[in-house]
Amino acid sequence: MTKFTSTPNRCVIVDGKELWISRSITVLAILVVIYDGNAYVPLNKRGPDLPSEVGKWCLAGGYLDYDETIGGAVMREVWEELGLNLQELQANHRLEGSLDQPSLVFSEPRRSQNVTMHYPLMLFLNDGADLPSLEPQVSQGEVTEVGWFTLDAALEMELAFNHQDILRRCLSNEFAKIWPTPSLS
């Protein structure tokens, strides 16, 4: 079992406004898994305790905690929201992409974070392996459901935070270098 010891962010109310005490940095794992020649995306549905986009499916991601690296935050978020151990998967299958360097860093201080870092990761499962089971490690207040979706289905969904557009960008850029992606419509 994976154990993370990072200090969680917290929310305080000041003059009726919700303020997050954090580094204001989020990480997003854009994870695509190639299984039996087909592409799948693990998604989680946002729970009622979250501040926005409740009930929408999304990619795994969240805030960088005070005492962790950005790569550690990616691994923790994938573990917490999907129950996937990236270190174990990387040890047993081929993982393309970097856990050390994001492919894109942008600042859009419209919401509760100022900086978001994208981590496109493509996992090629070995022959004979099945899609790993998804078992979130957080409460149903944060994640109500998880599921494997075909790449085509995920691209057709209206995901939280426009994650379908982020997925398309990665397919056209970073993933196109390592996997012959079908045309994106």
What is the CATH number for 91?
Answer: 3.90.79.10
24 closest CA partner among 105, 110, 115: 115
Residue 15, in any domain of the structure: no
- Say if residues 80 and 140 touch (Cβ distance below 8 Å): no
Domain coverage including residue 40: 23-177
Specify the higher pLDDT residue, 181 or 16.
16
* Mean pLDDT in residue range 99-124: 83
- Say if residues 73 and 79 touch (Cβ distance below 8 Å): no
Can you give the pTM of this predicted structure? Answer: 0.85
Where do the H-state alpha helices sit in the chain?
A: 70-82, 86-92, 151-156, 163-172
If pLDDT is split at 50, 70 and 90, which confidence band does 36 have?
Answer: very high
CA 54, 167, 41, 67 dihedral sign is negative
The pLDDT assigned to 135 comes to 97
- Whether the pLDDT of residue 124 is over 60: the answer is yes
Q: What are 78's two structure tokens?
A: 């994938």
Question: How many domains, in total, are found in the chain?
Answer: 1
The pLDDT assigned to 185 comes to 47
Residue 183, in any domain of the structure: no
CA gap 114, 123 in Å, rounded: 29
Q: pLDDT per residue over 149-184, tens digit each?
A: 999 999 999 999 999 999 999 999 999 989 876 555
